[in-house]
Amino acid sequence: MRISGNTVFIPGSTSGIGLALALALQAKGNTVVIGGRRKQLLDEITAEHPQLGAVQIDVSDPASITAAAQQVLADYPDLNVLVGMAGIMQVEDWHRPESFLESAEAVVTTNVLGPIRLIAAFIEHLQTRPDATIVTVSSGLGFAPLKVTPSYNAAKAAVHMLTESLRLQLADTSVELKELVPPSVATDLMPGQRESTFAMPLDQFVTEVIDILESAPDAKEILVERVKFLRYGEARGDYDDVVAALNAADPHAEG
């Protein structure tokens, strides 16, 4: 993936990593279209940042994805990069079904079916572009679990393996697969996460991501240094220590 000259659609980019990444990519010379559920918020963001395009989309709703894809492709026919940023994370207690089942279904719908449906909506178009990229978004928690977020951990592990599989299957096309693997980042994904000393500052994370995209355009995984502790625990042979440290350090680990 080249660092500039792309047309990029980022569903789930009205806040946090998604919005920061959208602005950073736009500053590098890309046409960037943000996506989110709330039209008023999209309007507020584009009023503040008129260089951004915006399309309303709810990745938990198949009809919304279809409608958004039609609008994006009509308005931005040069689209060649799709970044599946939308996701939710919820604390769950799996001792009783009433305290996890509804949450688990919502997490899987948004974090697993969402990317699948997004790819389905854009894959034929992307194959017509000479240089196209799908960026999936997994998590360090797809490689080492936080005990209070079982569905989120599982969903992100699924995104990792989906990406690995599609990279093989689409090797005969012009579509490249990249996997962004964030650590805990100071956003509002979970209550208190923005203020957590355990979380990586958002600006530092996005700066490092852009640096990786620029310096290693062929990298299959976008790994900031901070996430490698989680990503490579099994390979290093200290997985149990990684899991223990993760659950001791994270403010949501006790609950």
Residue 41 has, within 13 A of its CA and on its CB side, a CA count of: 12
Q: Which tens digits make up the pLDDT trace of 101-139?
A: 999 999 999 999 999 999 999 999 999 999 999 999 999
- As annotated, the active-site residues are 152
- The pLDDT score that the predictor gives to residue 251 is 59
Nearest Cα to 30, choosing from 51, 54, 57? 51
Question: What pLDDT score does 255 carry?
Answer: 33
**Which residues fall within 8 angstroms of residue 181, CB to CB, at 6 or more apart?**
138, 139, 140, 142, 143, 160, 221, 222, 223, 227, 231
- Beta-bridged to residue 83, according to DSSP, are 135
Dig out the tokens for 49 from the structure: 């940042």
Q: What is the largest CA-CA distance in the chain?
A: 50
CB distance 149 to 100 below 8 Å: no
* Per-residue confidence (pLDDT) for residue 141, from 0 to 100: 97
Task: Quote the distance between the C-alpha of residue 186 and its chain's center.
Answer: 15
The tokens for 203 are 């600006």
- Per-residue pLDDT of 227-252, as tens digits, reads 999 999 999 999 999 999 999 976 55
Residues 6+ apart with CB under 8 A from 252: 91, 146, 148, 149, 190, 192
Helices 202-215 and 16-27 pack at an angle, to 10 degrees, of 50
pLDDT tens, the chain, 255 aa long: 999 999 999 999 999 999 999 999 999 999 999 999 999 999 999 999 999 999 999 999 999 999 999 999 999 999 999 999 989 999 999 999 999 999 999 999 999 999 999 999 999 999 999 999 999 999 999 999 999 999 999 999 999 999 999 999 999 999 999 999 999 998 877 666 666 667 899 999 999 999 999 999 999 999 999 999 999 999 999 999 999 999 997 655 433
32, β-bridge pairs: 8
pLDDT score of 187: 83
Q: For residues 110 and 88, is the Cβ–Cβ distance under 8 A?
A: yes
The predicted pLDDT at position 220 comes to 98
**CA–CA dist 227, 181 (Å, integer):** 7
The pLDDT value recorded for residue 189 is 73
Side-chain-side CA neighbours of 62 within 13 Å: the count stands at 5
pLDDT at position 250 is: 64
CA nearest neighbour of 46 among 12, 23, 65: 23
